[in-house]
Amino acid sequence: MNLNTGHFRIDIVPETPDVPLAFAEFLPNSTPEQLAAEAHWLRPRYASADLAHGLLSFHSYLLRSPTQTVLIDTCMGNDKERGGHPMFHRLQTPWLSRLAALGVQPEDVDYVLCTHLHGDHVGWNTCLRDGQWVPTFPRARYVFSKVEYEDRRAAFEADPSAGFGVFADSILPVMRSGQALLVDSDFELGGLLRLESAAGHTPGNVIVHLDHSSAANISPVIFSGDVLHHPVQVKYPEWSSAFCEDPRASAYYRQAFVERYADSECWILPAHFPHPSAGQIIRAGGCLHWHAPSG
């Protein structure tokens, strides 16, 4: 995908596409009967043939204007020790090469925005060099929600092994290098990008708006992070994922989010929807649906 918004060109930097996760585990409130009723659009793009597994993508968004290069979320990263979990542990993916293929070297990145500090959104914040975790992007400022950072820091101080070491290997090196920017949830960057609190999935979870109030005929874009993990949640926003730290708050925010953008001109770019990832929310037959152009 690349979307030219007039100010920013947007590209996806994939890490691992089409990862199967059991619906019964990651959307525990879903039922086989409800999923079967959606089979006509879930298969094959969003679910396995037997509907037991949903397909998720792990990717970053790359935004480029004539003056700025911005990454939103940084996937899982290479070489990270994640307790042997096969989805995350000691990955070796060509994510950096894919970034380079788009014409971007690590030193070109000006800002890294992390929607929250789960391990699959901060992995490429750092890379292993001579046995040390160092910031991957040597010039970048890394934007973290202050609320989120303080929550993770408290958890780390209570138990340094909490969260599979994500804080130690992907957050602390950025703090120590002085590249972190701890911000409030209404932070704005350059007048075009602004954060909005979307607490629930995590305490400091945010979404990122790309607004074009000065540009005619260009639709707003929203990087919705983990407000939605899978397209079926547009129809069933009450289904929080097993990864949501406050499932009730997450569902409450998700329900308001899908209602707010239903039948709007906004493009929604979630962190885990399979290719082409970008889509819109439409209302039909009294329900909300995910609509993504094929391609």
Closest to Zn ion by CB, 123 or 165 = 123
* In the complex, least distance from residue 37 CB atom to Zn ion, rounded to whole angstroms: 26
* In the complex, least distance from residue 5 CB atom to Zn ion, rounded to whole angstroms: 24
Closest to Zn ion by CB, 46 or 192 = 46
Map the footprint of Zn ion across residues 171-210, applying CB under 5 A: none
Closest to Zn ion by CB, 53 or 64 = 53
Residue 255 CB contacts under 8 Å (≥ 6 apart), including other chains? 237, 238
d(CA 261, CA 272): 18
Kindly determine how many residues on this chain lie close enough to bind Zn ion according to the rule CB under 5 A: 2
Residue 87 contacts residue 50 (beta carbons within 8 Å):
no
Residue 15 in contact with Zn ion, rule: CB under 5 A: no
Peptide bond before residue 44 is cis, with ω within 30 degrees of 0:
yes
Up-side HSE of residue 75: CA atoms within 13 Å toward CB? 30
Closest to Zn ion by CB, 7 or 118 = 118
Angle at 214 between CA 253 and CA 292, to 5 degrees: 45
Peptide bond before residue 86 is cis, with ω within 30 degrees of 0:
no
d(CA 251, CA 236): 9
Residue 127 contacts residue 134 (beta carbons within 8 Å):
yes
* In the complex, least distance from residue 121 CB atom to Zn ion, rounded to whole angstroms: 6
Site string for Zn ion, 212-241 (x = CB under 5 A): --------------x---------------
DSSP classification of residue 234: H
* In the complex, least distance from residue 229 CB atom to Zn ion, rounded to whole angstroms: 7
Alpha-carbon separation of residue 258 from 59, 196, 261, 265, 282 (angstroms) = 22, 15, 5, 13, 9
Map the footprint of Zn ion across residues 242-271, applying CB under 5 A: none
Map the footprint of Zn ion across residues 64-123, applying CB under 5 A: 120
* In the complex, least distance from residue 295 CB atom to Zn ion, rounded to whole angstroms: 23
Closest to Zn ion by CB, 8 or 273 = 273
* Residue 41 token pair: 């659009």
d(CA 118, CA 170): 10
Site string for Zn ion, 117-156 (x = CB under 5 A): ---x------------------------------------
Closest to Zn ion by CB, 15 or 226 = 226
Closest to Zn ion by CB, 38 or 120 = 120
* In the complex, least distance from residue 271 CB atom to Zn ion, rounded to whole angstroms: 5
Closest to Zn ion by CB, 7 or 229 = 229
Residue 7 contacts residue 192 (beta carbons within 8 Å):
yes
Going through 1-68 in order, the beta strands assigned E by DSSP cover 2-4, 9-22, 53-64
Binding site for Zn ion (CB under 5 A): 120, 226
